[in-house]
């Protein structure tokens, strides 16, 4: 007999598949850059330029160094796995939309520079998990919202640049957060929902039926 713990473990492993696969690609690209002594930064996003268009899909996979990769890797894995575990019905659609919307908006509105790294997607995931949990007002999802605040509440400062020429892509953080928030609102009625206490409705129906039956007898 399959134990409940085994089922949950399988669900967690399944939820981690896509984040782990993308992390493997990120790691492989960073390793190639390191071993060959090259930089693939020009495959990132350069706003409003033809050469920057491929970066909409490629930029989250490219990092400027190992420190940059490690800084994003754990957050990407934790938040990505949380999305695919708790929002199974809509997780893939939400993930792809966060990924693409962040890239497109970054290409349309950011500084004239090469933007690389997965932080935009990370901000999108964090925003979706937080806002969606609050909107749905469902305890397990609210717990995820609180986890996001506890572990990643400091991310909010990355959205606002203290000066224009900060060394990180605050625009990616901003657009990722906007994408996650918008999708949390758009998909608020899809995926996991707060359970409805159906027994209250059944009690009402049980109370109503005898009443109308008694009325019918009186008419006879």
pLDDT of 17 above 90: yes
The mean pLDDT value of the chain amounts to: 85
More confident residue, 8 or 23: 23
Dihedral sign for Cα atoms in the order 25, 31, 32, 34? positive
What is the pLDDT confidence band of residue 140, given thresholds at 50, 70 and 90? confident
Burial class (CB in 10 A: 0-12, 13-18, 19+), 7: exposed
Closest to 180 (Cα-Cα) out of 128, 132, 133, 119: 128
Q: Which of 32-36, 156-160, 200-204, 213-217 has the lowest average pLDDT? A: 213-217
CA atoms lying within 13 Å on the CB side of residue 128: 35
DSSP label at residue 213? H
Check residue 216 and give its pLDDT. Answer: 40
Report the alpha-carbon distance of residue 145 to residue 123 in Å, rounded: 13
Domain architecture of the chain: domains with CATH: 4-194 (1.20.1540.10)
Q: What is the pLDDT of residues 73-105, one digit of tens each?
A: 999 999 999 999 999 999 999 999 999 999 999
Q: What is the pLDDT of residues 181-217, one digit of tens each?
A: 999 999 999 988 877 766 555 554 444 444 334 434 4
Report the alpha-carbon distance of residue 5 to residue 9 in Å, rounded: 6
Check residue 2 and give its pLDDT. Answer: 61
Q: H or E element: which one contains 102?
A: helix 91-108
């Amino acid at each position: 007999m399959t134990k409940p713990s085994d089922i949950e473990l399988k669900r967690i492993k399944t939820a981690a598949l896509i984040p782990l696969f993308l992390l493997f690609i990120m790691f492989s690209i960073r390793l190639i850059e390191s071993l060959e002594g090259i930089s693939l930064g020009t495959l990132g996003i350069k706003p409003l330029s033809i050469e920057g268009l491929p970066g909409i899909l490629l930029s989250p996979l490219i990092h400027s160094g190992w420190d940059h990769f490690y800084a994003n890797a754990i957050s990407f894995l934790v938040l990505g796995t949380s999305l695919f575990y708790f929002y199974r019905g809509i997780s893939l659609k939400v993930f792809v939309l966060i990924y693409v919307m962040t890239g497109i908006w970054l290409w349309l509105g950011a500084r004239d520079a090469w933007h690389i790294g997965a932080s935009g997607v990370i901000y999108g995931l964090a925003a979706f998990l937080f806002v969606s949990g609050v909107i749905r007002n469902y305890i397990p999802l609210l717990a995820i919202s609180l986890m996001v605040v506890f572990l990643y509440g400091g991310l909010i400062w990355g959205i606002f640049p203290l000066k224009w020429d900060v060394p990180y892509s605050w625009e990616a953080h901003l657009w990722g957060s906007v994408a996650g928030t918008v999708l949390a609102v758009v998909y608020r009625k899809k995926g996991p929902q707060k359970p409805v206490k159906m027994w209250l409705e059944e009690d009402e129906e049980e109370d109503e039926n005898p009443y109308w039956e008694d009325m019918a007898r009186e008419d006879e």
